[in-house]
Homo-oligomer: A and B are copies of this chain.
Amino acid sequence: MSSVSDQQGKPDAQPGDPQPRMKSGDRRELIVVAAAGVFGDFGYFGTTTDQVAKAAGVSQPYVSRMFGTKEQLFLEVLARSLRTLLSAFTAEIAAGTGPGLPARIGLAYVELLRDRGLLLSLMHAFVLGGDPAIGTAARAGFLEVYRLLRVDAGFSAGEARDFLANGMLINTMVGLRMSDEFETNDLANECLRTALPEKLDLVLNLGKEQRSDR
């Protein structure tokens, strides 16, 4: 997946560099993806539209112009995150139900960590349930995931709970940057290993990236 500005043969997002013109929809997608990363790190209120703009390599007013409000942008990030998650799960279900499904959906979930900020943006949305717009969308999204697990995937109520509980724990530990302590703290080490028996390396690599771009 080459970065968009490669089509011009130029490096990404140089500060004052005017961006090449682009179809509105493509640029929109680009900004939403960049926004997911920033919202994942700082949450809805903690993120500025300028941070998003910088991450996407466009000007701050352009972000406002394109999405109207920061809230609208966040809602689009949320929608994209849920869409991606639901289709990843749906793909596993389509690949066959049966005793192996929970494990496969679990792996698919962890793989979503590759999509920078996807799960963390969701998590930030989930803890803002009191917000009129965000809370409504977040609840609906969570319930849609629950429905998919129970109905489409055929999980029992207990299986769905266990799955979601583990997911929330993983999200929390990623949000906590627990991987920062992986080598230096035995408890952190064990905690990560226990919560992520598979794909531990994914979280650790993620942690390195995060540390380097602060």
| Contact residues in B for A109 (Cβ distance below 8 Å) | none
Tell whether A66 is near chain B: CB-to-CB under 8 Å.
no
Alpha-carbon gap, A181 to B142, bound state (A): 12
Q: Given A142-B178, A143-B187, A187-B150, does the pair A127, B161 have CB atoms closer than 8 Å?
A: no
**Cross-chain contact of A185 among B143, B160, B214 (Cβ < 8 A):** B143
Residues of B within 8 A of A191 (CB): 143, 146, 157, 160-161
| CB closest chain-B residue, reference A195 | B161
Chain B proximity of A167: nearest CB distance (Å)? 8
Residues of chain B lying within 8 A (CB to CB) of residue A171: 127, 168
A139→B126 CA distance, assembly (Å) = 20
Interface membership of chain A positions 158-176, coded 1 if the CB is closer than 8 angstroms to chain B and 0 otherwise? 1011101110110110111
Chain B residue contacts of A45, Cβ below 8 A = 42-43, 45-46
Which of B43, B187, B210 sits near A127, CB closer than 8 Å?
A: B43
A68: which B residues are within 8 A, CB to CB?
none
Residue from the list B142, B150, B178 in contact with A139, Cβ < 8 A: B178
Given A45-B43, A166-B165, A194-B157, the answer on whether A128 and B187 have CB atoms closer than 8 Å is no
Is A61 located at the chain interface by the 8 A CB criterion? Answer: no
27 pairs from A and B in contact (CB 8 Å cutoff)? A43-B45, A43-B127, A43-B128, A45-B45, A46-B128, A126-B172, A126-B176, A127-B127, A127-B171, A127-B175, A127-B176, A129-B175, A129-B176, A129-B177, A130-B210, A135-B176, A135-B177, A142-B176, A143-B191, A146-B191, A158-B194, A160-B191, A161-B166, A162-B165, A165-B168, A168-B168, A168-B172
* Chain A residues close to B by CB (< 8 Å): 41-46, 120, 123-124, 126-130, 135, 138-139, 142-143, 146-147, 150, 157-158, 160-162, 164-166, 168-169, 171-172, 174-178, 180-181, 185, 187-188, 190-191, 194-195, 210, 214
